[in-house]
Amino acid sequence: MTSVRIFFKGGLTSYRAMFGWLHPGVAIPVFLIEPVAQILLFAFIGRSAGVADDRFYVIGNALQFASIPCLFAMAFTIDGEREAHTLSVVLVSPARRLPLFLGRALPVIANGWVVTLVGLVAGMLLLRVTIPGSAWLPMLLVVLVSSASCTGLGLATGAVALRVRDSAVLANVVYCGLLIFSGVNVALDQVPGWMADVGRWLPLTHAIEAARRLADGQGAGSIGGLLVRELGLGAAYTVLGLLMLRWLETSSRRWATLDRV
Amino acid sequence: MWKVLHQIAVCYWLQVKVTSTSWFDGVLAVFYPLMFATATLLVYRVRGDADGMQFAGLGAVVMGMWTCQGVVAASALARERWSGTLELLVAAPTGMPRILVPTTLAFSTVGLYCVVVTFLWERWVFDLPLHITSWPLFVLGVVVAALTLSLFGYFLAVTCVRYRTAWAIGAAMEMPGWLLCGFVVPLALLPTWLHPLSWVIPTTWAMEAVRDAANGSSPWGHLGLALLVGAGYAVIGGYLGRQLVDSARRHATLALT
């Protein structure tokens, strides 16, 4: 029962306390203006280069923008404890680590889901892109899965934030990696083979492909395999993040580097 | 006169050291636009159109300067506030323009570093040798872009002095700026109602001058326009700076606490 309470209540409290971007002064520019600007930027680049239609870029960039809350919020909910000098208090508590850190991921997934949908709808309205009505229900699921898998990567990034001083820089670097390798703006069969190989091991890649299939009018049955792979990758990154948290926590205690700001 | 130049030089050099050694304002400000330039070039490369690659490659080289200035300058005074030095700067007998313009010039200097890095990145990673007809005029165009951007950055810094989360404004301006300045998308492709917004950004004209220098046209007209618009921002920034800072001192809101 305590673990359930830590998971839900503790997770939400930590998210609200540590993720300082929920204020309208930050949330509106970062979660509304930036994703729409990125969608428009690449849609116009696509038009100028004559490569793909607007829908390709709306879907790719809207889904990729979920990684902003997923990476940054997860990093900040861990790194923020150190900034607030509460990390040692959290880590000496007898609370189980699994609900303690996974609980923080739940609101982040919801945040990523909402940001993606806002980007999708805004991009569609501004660029007059249409997605078949029948595709919307599975699309909501795809967005949820992509946010969850990206949060797994965020957990791993957040774990590194236990050791790396500037988590914002780290999250930005990972964000850029997803932009380049996940097939956001160029289909994987149009990039060098090694880049496509890297992309297949990253979150978002399969979800973006699934979303594009749905938007092209293919049925929900065509995306099952992609969703399973996306979920599998998300789970793998989550496990990796938890293992890294455990290892870095132990080594931080041993080397007294826990509160090094 | 010597004292003024010395103060400006000291302030500029101090800020160059502070900015270039910062992971966020120095390293990331170069890395982030470089990765967006990479994504852009990957899109243009799909068609294998040499003219398109030349257009995007030139724009991508200058694109990073916008990030180094726009994003960082917006929060320049907010960072002083976080460091507890804003009150000292405002109360100093040296005027704000003489402190802020060297600061934004330092941001532009990091932008120049970004130009060089992107240029080499395009050459080595994309095997894209940019065709520049007149190197001296190309360099002049880039320098004018840096100078006018620093004046724009000064305007931005003083306008955001009362905004607690100014960094978010700067970050939100990044990609719209890339679009409006015509770095990697021809301005003709943008809706007509957006064109006036492009015209009031000095970098739009500086970018045109850089393209002129690259393709052998005369860049002087565009360089003049860039300097004119940049000077306009310096004048407006000077006026607004005095008004906003005076108002903040009068109402004791400088600290925003």
As a whole number of angstroms, the distance between CA B41 and CA A152 comes to: 29
A-chain CB neighbours of B168 within 8 Å are: 21, 25-26, 29-30
**DSSP per residue over B66-106, as a string?**
HIIIIIHHHTHHHHHHHHT-HHHHHHSSS-HHHHHHHHHHH
DSSP annotation of B201: S
Task: Say how many CB pairs under 8 Å bridge A and B.
Answer: 103
> What is residue A11's predicted lDDT score, i.e. its pLDDT?
83
Per residue in B68-98, pLDDT tens? 888 788 888 888 888 888 888 888 888 888 9
A-chain CB neighbours of B38 within 8 Å are: 180
Among B28, B165, B190, beta carbon nearest to A172: B28
Task: Name the burial class of residue B165, with classes exposed (0-12), middle (13-18) and buried (19+) by CB atoms within 10 angstroms of its CB.
Answer: buried
A-chain CB neighbours of B40 within 8 Å are: 45
Query: Which of A21, A51, A54, A67 is best to mutate for the B interface (most B CBs within 10 A)?
Result: A51
pLDDT at B50 over 80: yes
Q: Compute the radius of gyration of chain B from its Cα atoms.
A: 18
> What is residue B93's predicted lDDT score, i.e. its pLDDT?
87
> What is residue B175's predicted lDDT score, i.e. its pLDDT?
94
Q: Judge whether B44 is closer than 8 Å to chain A, CB to CB.
A: yes
B-chain CB neighbours of A166 within 8 Å are: 23-24
> What is residue B70's predicted lDDT score, i.e. its pLDDT?
81
As a whole number of angstroms, the distance between CA B161 and CA B159 comes to: 6
Model ipTM value: 0.92
B-chain CB neighbours of A37 within 8 Å are: 172, 174-176, 179
Is the separation of the CB atoms in B72 and B30 below 8 Å?
A: no
B-chain CB neighbours of A168 within 8 Å are: 24
The CB density around residue A48, as the number of other CB atoms within 10 Å, is 19
Per residue in A213-245, pLDDT tens? 999 999 888 999 999 999 999 999 999 999 998
As a whole number of angstroms, the distance between CA B240 and CA B211 comes to: 33
Helix axes A97-127, A54-64, angle to 10 degrees: 160
The mean pLDDT value for B161-189 works out to 91
- The fraction of chain B above a pLDDT of 70, given in percent, is 99
> What is residue A130's predicted lDDT score, i.e. its pLDDT?
92
CB contact under 8 A, A30 and B49: no
pLDDT at B214 over 90: yes
Q: Which residue has the higher pLDDT, B118 or A219?
A: B118
As a whole number of angstroms, the distance between CA B72 and CA B68 comes to: 6
pLDDT band at B191 (very low <50, low <70, confident <90, very high): very high
- Mean pLDDT, chain B, integer: 91
Q: Judge whether A56 is closer than 8 Å to chain B, CB to CB.
A: no
A-chain CB neighbours of B175 within 8 Å are: 34, 37-38, 40-41
Taking Cα atoms as reference points, which of A62, A81, A79, A57 lies closest to residue A154?
A79
CB contact under 8 A, A25 and B190: no
Among A30, A45, A191, beta carbon nearest to B184: A45
Is the separation of the CB atoms in A119 and A31 below 8 Å?
A: no
Q: Sign of the CA dihedral A172, A178, A179, A181?
A: positive
> From A177, which residue of chain B is nearest by alpha-carbon distance?
B35
> From B33, which residue of chain A is nearest by alpha-carbon distance?
A176
CB contact under 8 A, A176 and B171: no
CB contact under 8 A, A26 and B175: no
The mean pLDDT value for A161-166 works out to 78
pLDDT band at B21 (very low <50, low <70, confident <90, very high): confident
Least confident of A144-153, A164-173, B118-127: A164-173
pLDDT band at B244 (very low <50, low <70, confident <90, very high): confident
Segment B116-120 long-range contacts (CB within 8 Å, at least 24 positions apart): B117/B30, B117/B34, B117/B64, B118/B33, B118/B34, B118/B37, B118/B60, B118/B61, B118/B63, B118/B64, B119/B61
CB contact under 8 A, A49 and B43: yes
pLDDT band at A23 (very low <50, low <70, confident <90, very high): confident
pLDDT at B256 over 70: no
Least confident of A49-58, A78-87, A155-164, A201-210: A78-87
pLDDT band at A261 (very low <50, low <70, confident <90, very high): low
Among A23, A26, A48, beta carbon nearest to B185: A48
pLDDT band at A160 (very low <50, low <70, confident <90, very high): confident
Q: Which residue type occupies B181?
A: C
The CB density around residue B33, as the number of other CB atoms within 10 Å, is 28
Q: Judge whether B185 is closer than 8 Å to chain A, CB to CB.
A: yes
Q: Judge whether A160 is closer than 8 Å to chain B, CB to CB.
A: no
As a whole number of angstroms, the distance between CA B231 and CA B248 comes to: 25
- The residue assigned the tokens 């990729």 is A64
As a whole number of angstroms, the distance between CA A217 and CA A135 comes to: 7
pLDDT band at B257 (very low <50, low <70, confident <90, very high): low
pLDDT at B103 over 80: yes
pLDDT at A97 over 90: no
- The fraction of chain A above a pLDDT of 70, given in percent, is 98
Among B24, B47, B189, beta carbon nearest to A44: B189
Q: Judge whether B3 is closer than 8 Å to chain A, CB to CB.
A: no
- Mean pLDDT, chain A, integer: 90
pLDDT at A63 over 60: yes
CB contact under 8 A, A186 and B43: yes
- The fraction of chain A above a pLDDT of 90, given in percent, is 59
| pTM: predicted TM-score of the whole model, two decimal places | 0.92
Among B23, B38, B185, beta carbon nearest to A45: B185
pLDDT at B26 over 80: no
Q: Judge whether B240 is closer than 8 Å to chain A, CB to CB.
A: no
CB contact under 8 A, B40 and A166: no
DSSP annotation of B148: H
Distance from CA of A51 to the nearest CA of B (A): 7
Max mean pLDDT among B78-87, B121-130, B222-231 falls in B222-231
> What is residue A260's predicted lDDT score, i.e. its pLDDT?
60
pLDDT band at B137 (very low <50, low <70, confident <90, very high): very high
pLDDT at B25 over 80: no
CB contact under 8 A, A25 and B163: yes
CB contact under 8 A, A176 and B31: yes
> From A191, which residue of chain B is nearest by alpha-carbon distance?
B42
- Cα of first residue to Cα of last residue in chain B, in angstroms, is 38
